[in-house]
Amino acid sequence: MIFISAHADTNYKNVSLRTEGDEYVGLLDNYIGVFAAMKAYFSGEIDFDYVRMELTPDEEIDMRGAREVAKEVSREDLVIVIDVTGTPTEKDFVIEKCRSGRVRNFLNDVLKDFRYDIYEDCPDPIANMDETDVYKHKTKYYFFLGLPCMGGDYNFSDTRCRIKSVDEVSKALIEICKNYKKFCDSPAGV
C-alpha cells in the first residue's frame, strides 16, 4: 500500500495567493503541497485499490492527523509526505529523508525523466520536523517529497514556488503510483 500524506493546515489565520509570471506567491505552507497532491488525485491515473491519499490536520500543532493515519501503516507500506521545503535547489522538486536504499533505487528508476535532488537526510534550513517523523516509526519505506519555496521563511511569510514544481510533483506522484509493482517486486532490504 502507498500512503500519500499532505497536511492541510497552516500557520496562518488569513492566506494569500497570487501568480507572478511562472511562480505562485503567497502563504504556501502547505496549501501548495495539497494542491500538488490533488492534481495527482484528480488526474484519474492513480489506482486507489492500493493508494491512500490523506489530507491530515494539525501538523502545525501536534501532528495528530499523521498519528491517526500511522495507526494503519504497516512495516512494508510506502509513505510519501508532501510538503514545502526551503532546501536550496535549481531542480523541480526535492526528495528528503529517503534513508532506504530500496526506495532510492526505485525512485531513481521511475523518476529518471524528472529533475530532482535526493537526500537521505533533511537539508532544509527552515525546518527539519514534519510528518515523516511520525511515519518513520511505522514503516521502513518513507520519504519527504518537497516543493521548493524561495524568498523567505515559509512558516511566517510569503514565499515563491515555481508553477512547474507543482506540476512535476503531481506527475511524479502519478509515476510512483503507476510503478508501485516495481517497488513491490524489487529486492527487500534497507
State the fold for domain 2-185: Aminopeptidase (3.40.630)
Place of cell 501532528: 63
Q: What pLDDT does 190 receive?
A: 52
Cα dihedral 179, 88, 158, 66, rounded to 10, equals: 40
pLDDT > 70: percent of the chain: 99
Question: Mean of the pLDDT values across residues 92-101?
Answer: 98
Mean pLDDT of the chain: 94
Q: What pLDDT does 189 receive?
A: 59
Radius of gyration of the CA atoms of the chain, in A: 15
- Cα–Cα distance measured from residue 66 to residue 79, given in angstroms and rounded to the nearest whole number: 11
- How far the first Cα of the chain sits from its last, in Å, is 18
Question: Mean of the pLDDT values across residues 52-78?
Answer: 94
Q: Which three cell numbers stand for residue 186?
A: 524489487
Beta bridge partners of 2: 51, 78
Q: What pLDDT does 13 receive?
A: 74
- Cα–Cα distance measured from residue 80 to residue 132, given in angstroms and rounded to the nearest whole number: 8
Place of cell 530532482: 116
User: Position 146: which residue type?
Assistant: G
Question: Mean of the pLDDT values across residues 90-106?
Answer: 97
Query: Looking at per-residue confidence, does 36 or 58 come out higher?
Result: 36
Q: If we measure between CA atoms, which residue out of 125, 13, 4, 155 comes closest to residue 69?
A: 4
